[in-house]
Amino acid sequence: MTQQEAGVSRRALISVSDKTGIEAFARDLAARGWELLSTGGTLAALRAAGIPATAVSDVTGFPEILDGRVKTLHPAVHGGILARREEGHLAELAAHGLGTIDLVCVNLYPFRETVARGATLEEAVENIDIGGPAMIRAAAKNHAGVLVLVDPADYPLALEGEVSPAERRRLAAKAYRHTSAYDAAISAYLEGGAGGSALPAALTLPLSRVAEVRYGENPHQPGAVYRLGAERGPVLDARVVAGKPMSFNNYADADAAWALAQELAGQEQGAVCVAVKHANPCGVAVADTVAAAWERARDADSLSVFGGVVAVTRPVDLEAAQATRGTFLEVLIAPEVTPEAAAWFAAKKPDLRVLVAAAGARPGTLDLRPLAGGFAAQRRDTRTWADLCPEGVTSRQPTEAEWADLRFAWAVVKHARSNAVVLARAGVTVGVGAGAVSRIWAAERSVANAGERAHGAVLASEAFFPFDDVVRLAAGAGVTAVLQPGGAKRDPEVIAAADELGLSMVFTGSRHFRH
């Protein structure tokens, strides 16, 4: 028989900013004989729903003061939470006329949400919770006697009878993660790390596992996927509508494909399709329909696209789904997938993971690279074509069609691993050379990949040319226009070579290494 069933009175303190499920939970607790204590907006919400609740100020004998900054920081609250359920502590509580608090259901002021909507410093500071973390940490410390709940998903546990010691420890650990992530967000904001130009002196990464994978990059490596704080990701939070569970490499490639697709979606009018292999684009195209964009991207490098990951920028319908027939793919991610398309994939391509990207989710601002013993950190490269000031530096300026292809090729090469050179023509990549240790090797690979399709194409490089060799190679292959950042010592020689060979050349003034 549980203590509730034995008629022993228990008290629950409920004070939540996120009120998801709280009314039903509180009503069930009250029906089971729990006495409910509450504060502020939560108290008002419970009473408005007809749920009996006692104000914490009635328990402490002291009103809320300082515009609500102080209301639970009192021995009647923290004594009731922290007292060990043993004779000495219980007698001491009784001597002071205090009772125990057996359940703490608290989540915190919406600091991160307040900052995210562009609040002032003053408003952000007012949304730093003090009493909430104190109660959560106190309850977690005394989890043997106090049930601590910070997540609505855990509310049913309190209604199922006695909670095991192991489950109490799990909830306590979750509570400490909750307050740790909250403090990390505050410190990052105050140090300028929440969008400012400087990186903070100390960087705390609150990570919570959201998915287990069978293994990492290779079968002998364990792997998992984690969320950073409360951030949402288009792939991390994608909805799976068909196919097998995602692998470690699937997550990495899908994230890379979606990032490039979204970059191009911001500058192209048609449907964009991006095919990625090992985090590098291998076929990218724009067309009037998703089906046509896929076919152009597939044909750009039909060998490399086998076993690849594909992202598209428009909903996938049955026609687009059926266009993938005959090509083995690992993942397809789109902003939406029609029910007919999802059913076709499930029946015809049961191994293909089909994802609907999380709407409104954006990549975080930090880019982290592991080092032995630490991390290298930088701000993510968010510079777009609109942020550049591209300038034609040769006698012949690009034609309108060449400008369009240069802009397209620039987006692709920005998302390819360095050294990288991309050839494109009429809104489709015809050659991609990425991850080379020499720029001329990257160019040679791109030209070889293009073959005859290099005639009339444009070339984009993510970094400057130290010599004129890439220009001469490009002209010999039939390339008509070249884009690069500029800034090399031999820029005059490179420009002179382009003029000599009749190429137009554009400097963007901005390199985009991607290692």
Residues taking part in catalysis:
141, 278
The CA-atom distances, in angstroms, between 141 and each of 83, 85, 93 are 10, 13, 18
- Pairing mode, strands 54-55 and 34-38: parallel
Q: How far apart are CA 117 and CA 465, in angstroms?
A: 42
Q: Specify the DSSP class assigned to residue 454.
A: G
Quickly count: other Cβ atoms within 10 Å of residue 97's Cβ: 8
Q: Do residues 60 and 76 make contact, with C-beta atoms less than 8 angstroms apart?
A: yes
Closest-CA residue to 12 (of 45, 52, 44):
52
Q: What is the DSSP string of 175-240?
A: HHHHHHHHHHHHHHHHTTTTTSSSPPSS----EEEEEEES-SSSTTS-EEEEEETT---TTTTPEE
DSSP element (H, E) containing 340: helix 339-348
Q: How far apart are CA 361 and CA 382, in angstroms?
A: 15
Closest-CA residue to 168 (of 157, 159, 152):
157
Quickly count: other Cβ atoms within 10 Å of residue 257's Cβ: 28
Tokens 């090797």 belong to 441
Burial class, 30, CB count within 10 angstroms (exposed 0-12 / middle 13-18 / buried 19+): middle
Determine the length of the chain: 515
